[in-house]
Structure 1
C-alpha cells in the first residue's frame, strides 16, 4: 500500500481559536491556563485513527514553544516542522542537522532583522516585536487597521519576504519556507504521495510542492498547482481536510 504523507498547517487548518469555538469542540491548546485552541470532535477522531499508510506531519509557522502548547490526538504524529520550516522535531527532539542548515539562511539576514527589531520595538501600535527561534522576525499589531500601515512602510523590503496574516506580520528569510521544508522532507519519502493542506499565503510554497493540495476557496486563484481540492463551504475547513485525506486513501 502506497504511503501518503500529509503536511498540514495548524492554525485555521486543523485547529481554530477560542473565538470560533462551537459546541462539542475539543480544547487542544492552553495559554496561561486559558483555553486557546480547539479542534472539532470529528477531526480529533479521524486523526486518532489514521490508516497505517498515512503519516501526518504538522508544518507550522509557530515557534517551537507555541507548537508545544498544542496537544494533538495521541499518536497521530511523530514528526513536526515548526518556525516556517526551519526546525524539524522528531519524537519530541529537534533535529540539529536540519536546524543548523536552515539557520545559515537566517544568519545571513540577522543583522537586518536585528535592525528592524530595534526600530520597531516600543512602537505603541505593536503588541509584539520578536525574533522567533533565531529564524525570523514577527510583529503583532494592536489593531487590525495598523497592518496596512506597516505593510506600506516595510512590505517593499527586498531581502526579506514580508507577509501579513491577520494582525500579524512575518519578516521571513526567502530561503526559509514551508515549501523548501516539504521538498526536503519528501526527499526521504521515495514513492510516497504527498498531500499538503493550508489556509494562507504563507502556505503557498508548501501547497505548490505537493502532489495534491487542500485549500479554502480564497487561495484558489493564487495557487498554480492544478492538483487541488477546494473547500467552498461555510462549515469546518479542518473537517474538509480530513475527509479529503481519507478519500485519497481510498483511491
Structure 2
C-alpha cells in the first residue's frame, strides 16, 4: 500500500499526487497516492481491516495509514499481534516457544549468515525484534548462487528465506502471517465483530506473504515484486494489470468491489429468507 519514491518511479511520483505517510530521521521515505488514501479510509470504515507486515512494531509505528488506529495489526511477519497499538505479550510468548521447539535459534542462523557473506556485497546485517534477520545488499554484486544455497541451509534448519529487492530475509518457518491472522480472526469472531463464515481477503507481493494469500478465501497480488518474479499464481489470487503505486490503487479498488459484492449478495439472501418466511406463514 505504501511506496518509496524510487519504487514509484519518477513518472508515477510526478503524476499521482503522492502524500507522505512515513518519516524516518526527519526525511520522508514512504508515500501513498491520494486516491489510495481515500480508498483505504473508506474500506476501514466499512469492514475490519488488519494491516499485516514484516516490519517490526517500531517500523510500523512510523507509518500513518488512513483508517488508523486499527484494533488489530500484525507485525514482525506474524511474530507480534498489536491490539489497539499495544503488543500482545501472550501471542509473542507462544511464538517464542514455537521457534524454540521447531527451528534453529537466531544466534546460530546469524553466525552462519556471517560466515557466508562479506562487505563486498552486503551493506548491513540487521536483527529484527530478536526474532529474525535480514541483509541489505548491493544487487549488482550479490553472488549468483547465494540465495539458492542460503535457502537450502535455512530450510534444513526450520527457517524461510525471502528476497525483496535489496533485502534478504531469514525468518523462522513457524512465524507466519497466516497463523497470526488466524488468531486475529478467532478474536474477531469471538467478539462478534465478524461472523464465523466471513470471508478473508488479502494482498501481498513477497514470498513471506504467500502463506497468507494461500489461506485467504480470495486474494490479489501486484504485477511486481518477489511473487511476480517467481511466477507465483493461484486460482483464487487475482493479479493487477498495473505495477507500482497504480497497483496499490487497483488492489484497494478490488477490495472495495469484493466487499460491495459480498454485501449485496448477503442482502439478497436476507431478503429471500424474509420472502420464504412470509410465504410459509399461514
Normalising TM by the smaller chain, what interval?
0.7 to 0.9
1:147-166 correspondence to structure 2 within 5 Å:
148-157=144-153, 158-159=156-157, 160-166=159-165
Structure scoring higher RCO (CA < 8 A, sep ≥ 6) equals 1
DSSP 3-state at the match of 2:30 = strand
Q: TM-score, normalised by structure 1?
A: 0.85
In 1, are the aligned partners of 2:44 and 2:67 still within 8 Å (CA)? Answer: no
1:172 equivalent in structure 2? 171
Task: Give the deviation of 1:43 after TM superposition.
Answer: 1.0
1:196 aligns with 202
Partner of 1:207: 213
Distance 1:155 1:29 in 2: 31
Specify the SS of the correspondent of 2:108: helix
CA contact (8 A) 2:223 2:247 kept: no
Match of 1:244 in 2: 254
Question: Which ranges in structure 2 are unaligned for 5 or more consecutive residues?
Answer: 190-195, 262-282
| Counterpart selection for 2:62 from 66, 69, 82 | 69
Please say if residues 198 and 214 of structure 1, whose CA atoms lie closer than 8 Å, have aligned partners that are also in contact.
Answer: yes
Quote the Cα distance in structure 1 between the aligned partners of 2:184 and 2:233.
Answer: 21
> Partners of 1:126 and 1:199 in 2: how far apart?
23
Q: Does 184-193 or 197-206 show the bigger shift?
A: 184-193
- Give deviations 1:147-206, integer Å, cap 9, x for gaps: 634314422111221221111111111111112222332233323221111112221100
TM-superposed CA distance for 1:76, in Å, is 5.9
Q: CA deviation at 1:54?
A: 0.7
Q: 1:147 to 1:67 in 2, by over 3 A?
A: farther
Q: 2:271 maps to which residue? A: none
**More deviation, 23-32/45-54:** 45-54
Post-superposition CA distance 1:37-63 (Å, at most 9, x none): 000101111222336441111111111
1:139 aligns with 2:126: no
**Offset, 1:80:** 0.9
Provide TM-score, normalisation by structure 2. Answer: 0.76
More strand by share: 1
Taking the aligned partners of 1:147 and 1:67, their CA distance within structure 2 comes to 31
Q: Distance in 1 between matches of 2:136 and 2:58?
A: 17
The DSSP-based 3-state class of the residue aligned with 1:39 is strand
For 1:57, the equivalent position in structure 2 comes to 50
CA RMSD of aligned residues (A): 2.3
Which residue does 2:3 correspond to in 1? 16
**What 5-or-longer segments of structure 1 have no aligned partner?**
1-13
1:118 CA drift (Å) = 4.7
| Residue of structure 1 in register with 2:40 after alignment | 47
The structure richer in helix per residue is 2
Q: Does structure 1 residue 99 correspond to structure 2 residue 86? A: no
Indicate the residue corresponding to 1:32 in structure 2: 25
Displacement of 1:142 in angstroms is 2.8
With over 3 angstroms needed to count, the CA separation of the structure-2 counterparts of 1:139 and 1:234, relative to structure 1, is closer
